[in-house]
Amino acid sequence: MDLTSRVNAVLRMPWIKVPVAVACLLPITLLVTGAFAGTLSANPIDDITDGTGTWTLRFILITLAVTPVRQLTGLNGLIRYRRMLGLFAFFYGSLHFLTYLWLDQFFDLSSIVADIPKRPFITVGFTSYVLMVPLALTSADRIARWMGGRRWAALHRTVYLTAVGGVVHYLWLVKADIRAPLVYGGILAVLLAYRIVRAWRRRFARRA
């Protein structure tokens, strides 16, 4: 048995999803314990806001990396994790949105309603989050079957918009140091370029 099939065999073990899920919960665990232990910065609320935001973007990118990595390496077992990773992106996005609603705005509805359209980086961030909601709601197999694969896939392509929006949200909120958002933007560009090139090639191959 070669390495790829061995890794695939591990990836397909039913219980292996559990440690992966635990690992995905590590960032929020560290943030919460750090907040209580006083090991975050002097401004722990900002750390939680930044941390949940960064991990939302990371999980979106990790989710988008599943298919390219699977196709390039033959590690087809990875597909089992894509939905879970996407749901973790939604989970961190929800926490991030909640920190904004609660710790930044203190649920002041009139202020929130005024803030979202007025601040472009919040408009983009909010839109990106809202676009994730239908994807999370339609993530169950049964719903996907009910929708039909083609329609389901079309809907779930909006994740590309969410990803671009996430990077733009980050880029528009930093003051002067745009290096970090550019790194995320670069990774996203590679992941999107891969898909575009692949689609072109397939079209070309069909014609030939």
Partner 1 sequence: MLIKGPPDIRSSEITPESLYRSRRRFLKSAALTVGGVALASSRVFARLQDPTFKRGKPGPYDTTEDLTEYEDITTYNNFYEFGTGKEDPHENAGTLKTSPWTVKVEGEVKKPGSFALEDLLKGQTMEDRIYRLRCVEGWSMVIPWFGFPIANLIKRFEPTSRAKYVEFVTLLDPKQMPGQRVKVLDWPYTEGLRMDEAMHPLAIFATGLYGAPLPNQNGAPLRIVVPWKYGFKSAKSIVAIRFVERQPETTWHLAAPDEYGFYSNVNPSVDHPRWSQKTERRIGDFFKRKTEMFNGYADQVGSLYAGMDLRKNF
* Chain residues that interact with partner 1, rule: CB under 8 A: 35-39, 41-43, 45-46, 104, 106, 115, 119-121, 172-173, 175-177, 179
Nearer to partner 1, 70 or 169 (CB): 169
Nearer to partner 1, 49 or 94 (CB): 49
Nearer to partner 1, 152 or 172 (CB): 172
Q: C-beta of 108: minimal distance to partner 1 in Å? A: 10
Q: C-beta of 57: minimal distance to partner 1 in Å? A: 17
Q: C-beta of 127: minimal distance to partner 1 in Å? A: 16
Nearer to partner 1, 18 or 176 (CB): 176
Number of H helices, E strands in the chain: 11, 0
Q: C-beta of 138: minimal distance to partner 1 in Å? A: 34
CA distance 66 to 20: 14
- Nearest one of 27, 31, 54 to 181, comparing CA atoms: 54
CA 131, distance to chain mean position in Å, is 12
Work out the burial of residue 158: count CB atoms within 10 Å of its CB; fewer than 13 is exposed, 13-18 middle, 19 or more buried.
Answer: middle
C-alpha distances in Å from residue 89, one per residue of 17, 86, 159: 16, 5, 11
Nearer to partner 1, 93 or 125 (CB): 125
Q: C-beta of 124: minimal distance to partner 1 in Å? A: 12
As a whole number of angstroms, the longest Cα–Cα distance in the chain is: 63
Residue type, 79: I
